[in-house]
């Protein structure tokens, strides 16, 4: 996968797998025979372009393994249906779940790859009926598709967002309920959840996830943390920091901040 081979100067992601899962996680693999914390999420949790993502900082502070179950471009469908992730989380001392966007999931209008959720597999008759003026053969990724459809018609686009949001709430509700009360729900982006997230398509916040959606799921977890982290500035002597900034990904400073804010919540749950 491309995100595992970012080129010269890239961190060693030490890709690994657990059990029978076909998903590729960031390594090195954790020892899961004793006490540990599980962190589940998307690209930010995986830690694209950073040498030490926030699960690594948590492990150093907690003095126990923290298994990084972040998957690049993961959507709620992948998190809610992956049996190995659920098995690992069920035995964890505590679990962190990063809020992922609503765009990378199959829904009434389009389907995505079951493991690479940003990959578009196809559109449904409902989508073709809603946008008969669009040639869908040109689209291979969900974000490109959605940005184009938004530009064609904001009015029609609202129906797609409503379907994505309904699917997100349903899947995240089932997922968090299955994890139980030892969970911290983590929102991270350049801004807090909005009242209306219909046009939130950018890379630095969970796409289309609004305040009302968050209220529906926060009651299922022990704690929830909303972090608004500003975009970090490029560093002339740090290739990876520049790549992170260009891609809209959190840099090292943001990952340290996330870990620092999560730490007291995890210690409370682990008492």
Question: Within a 10 A sphere around the Cβ of 9, how many other Cβ atoms?
Answer: 11
pTM value is 0.92
Parse the chain into domains and list their residue ranges.
2-269
The answer to whether 125 touches 76, Cβ cutoff 8 Å, is no
Of 224, 219, 163, 166, the closest CA to residue 193 belongs to: 224
Q: What is the pLDDT of residue 244?
A: 65
Check residue 81 and give its pLDDT.
Answer: 86
Which residues, 6 or more positions from 129, have their beta carbon under 8 angstroms from its beta carbon? none
**Other Cβ atoms closer than 10 A to 16:** 14
Spatial distance between the Cα atoms of 193 and 202, rounded to a whole number of angstroms: 13
Question: What is the reported pLDDT for 250?
Answer: 80
CB proximity list for 271: less than 8 A, separation 6 or greater: none
User: What's the whole-number mean pLDDT along residues 159-175?
Assistant: 97
Cis peptide before 118 (omega within 30 of 0): no
**Fold of the CATH domain 2-269:** Rossmann fold (3.40.50)
Q: Are 125 and 74 in contact (CB under 8 A)?
A: no
What gap in Å lies between CA 188 and CA 204, rounded to an integer?
8
pLDDT of residue 25: 96
For Cα atoms 248, 249, 255, give the angle at the middle one, nearest 5 degrees: 145
Decide if 232 contacts 241 (C-beta within 8 A).
yes
- Between CA 26 and CA 72 the distance in angstroms is 10
The per-residue pLDDT for range 257-269, each reduced to its tens digit, is 999 999 999 999 8
Report, as an integer, the average pLDDT of 12-35: 94
> What single DSSP character describes residue 100?
-
**Torsion-angle region of residue 14: left (phi > 0), alpha (psi -120 to 50) or beta?**
left
- Rounded-to-integer distance, Cα 225 and Cα 193, Å: 12
Give the pLDDT confidence score for residue 246 in this predicted structure: 64
pLDDT in tens, 2-15: 555 545 556 889 99
Average pLDDT over residues 28-32: 94
Helix (H) or strand (E) holding 241: helix 239-247
Q: Is pLDDT at 130 greater than 70 in this prediction?
A: yes
Maximum CA extent, the chain: 58
Tokens of 183: 């969970």
Token readout for 81 is 């249906």
Does residue 252 carry a pLDDT above 90? no
Tell which residue, 263, 264, 251, has the closest CA to residue 53: 251
Residue 271 to residue 261: CA distance in whole angstroms = 17
Phi, psi of 120 (to 5 degrees): -85, 125
The string of pLDDT tens digits covering residues 46-101 is 998 888 999 999 999 999 999 999 999 999 988 888 899 999 999 999 999 999 99
Does residue 236 or residue 178 have the better pLDDT? 178
Number of residues in the chain:
271
């Amino acid at each position: 996968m491309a995100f595992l081979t970012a080129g010269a100067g890239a961190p060693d992601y030490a890709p690994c797998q657990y059990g029978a899962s076909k998903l590729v996680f960031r390594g090195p693999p954790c020892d899961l025979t004793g006490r540990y914390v599980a962190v589940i999420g998307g690209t930010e949790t995986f830690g694209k372009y950073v040498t030490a993502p926030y699960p690594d900082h948590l492990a150093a502070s907690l003095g126990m393994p923290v298994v990084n179950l972040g998957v690049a471009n993961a959507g709620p469908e992948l998190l809610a249906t992956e049996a190995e992730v659920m098995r690992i989380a069920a035995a964890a001392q505590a679990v962190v779940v990063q809020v992922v966007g609503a765009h990378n999931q199959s829904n009434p209008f389009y389907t995505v790859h079951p493991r690479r959720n940003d990959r578009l597999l196809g559109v449904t008759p409902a989508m073709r009926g809603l946008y008969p003026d669009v040639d869908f053969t040109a689209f291979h990724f969900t974000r490109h598709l959605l940005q184009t459809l938004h530009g064609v018609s904001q009015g029609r686009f609202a129906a797609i967002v409503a379907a994505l949001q309904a699917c997100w709430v349903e899947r995240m509700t089932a997922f968090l309920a299955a994890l139980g009360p030892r969970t911290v729900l983590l929102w991270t982006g350049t801004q807090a959840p909005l009242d209306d997230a219909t046009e939130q398509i950018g890379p630095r916040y969970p796409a289309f996830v609004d305040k009302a959606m968050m209220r529906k799921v926060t009651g299922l977890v022990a704690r929830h943390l909303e972090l608004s982290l500003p975009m970090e500035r490029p560093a002339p002597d740090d290739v990876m920091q520049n790549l992170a900034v260009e891609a809209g990904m959190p840099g090292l400073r943001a990952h340290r901040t996330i870990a620092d804010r999560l730490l007291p919540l995890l210690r409370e749950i682990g008492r």
